Amino acid sequence: MSTHGTVVPTGPSAAEHVRTVLARAVSLSLRTAGQEYDLIGMHTVAPDGTLTLHLQDGTAPLHPAEAPAAGQAAVLEFTDIAPTAVRSRVRARVTVVGRLAAADGGDLRLEATHVRLGTPSGTVDVAPEELARAEADPLAVEEAGLLTHLVDAHGDTTRHLLDLAGHRVPPVVARALPYALDSRSITLRCEYPGGHCDLRLLFPAPARDATEAGERIRQLLSEPCPCHHHSPTRSHP
């Protein structure tokens, strides 16, 4: 008999979700004074959640002379896209509103005044002070590589994980692919003719890095526990 009990670990808070999106995002959209720029690989996130724009990279699409001035109002938008080729790949959108301030080396720092997280289940506002206290998921940066490797090299693992769901999976599933991975769980997207649903399989214990994430997946396959399964959320194309 399982000793795990019936308590299901909760998911990340909205602030933690935002920090995770910011940590793994490669590109963002910057809007200010009627101008819009697509910035790729030109931002960093400090431990306190502060966003810094590095606009003087020689490979940047934005020339330093075109950079918005410090003190201007600005909006940064991040889109979190599933790294695998699933249906409806946008998982979340983060909008950060604030004013630009000068930073060291000619960079610009965004002093956030408003943060909003949008997901398929709705939108929620996150206070900047909450964002400053939150931490990104430990697997945020490694998630894309882990999931694409799982698809490319371990397709049988996905099939075995799907078997753990039993009756929770719709009777006619055309395809199932890994959709998300965090320190607490792996989520599969199950696609069928009338729509799709997400199945989140909870790990026996949190994973602190990529190695432990692999161990947790193997544990799920060797020691499955029904209490680790969330009922899938369903949606249509």
pLDDT tens across the length of the chain (237 residues): 333 333 345 679 999 999 999 999 998 999 998 889 899 889 999 999 999 998 765 555 566 667 788 889 999 999 999 999 999 999 999 999 999 999 988 899 999 999 999 999 999 999 999 999 999 999 999 999 999 999 999 989 999 999 887 777 878 898 999 999 999 999 999 999 988 999 999 999 999 999 999 999 999 999 755 434 443 455 655
**DSSP E strands: which ranges in 120-156?**
122-126
> Side-chain half-sphere of 17: how many Cα atoms within 13 Å?
23
Question: Residue 21 has which token pair?
Answer: 């999106």
The CA distance from 94 to 80, in Å, is 8
pLDDT at 131: 96
Nearest 10 degrees: Cα torsion 148, 29, 127, 15? 0
- What CA–CA distance (Å, rounded) separates 174 from 115? 37
Write the DSSP assignment of 101-144 as a string of letters. Answer: EE-GGG-EEEEEEEEEEEETTEEEEE-HHHHHH----TTTTTHH
Name the 3-class secondary structure at 210: helix
The two structure tokens encoding residue 93: 């959108």
pLDDT of residue 58: 53
Q: Which domains does the chain have, with CATH numbers?
A: 14-133 (2.30.110.10), 143-235 (3.20.180.10)
Confidence at residue 6, expressed as pLDDT on a 0 to 100 scale: 33
Residue 198's H or E segment, with its range, is strand 195-202
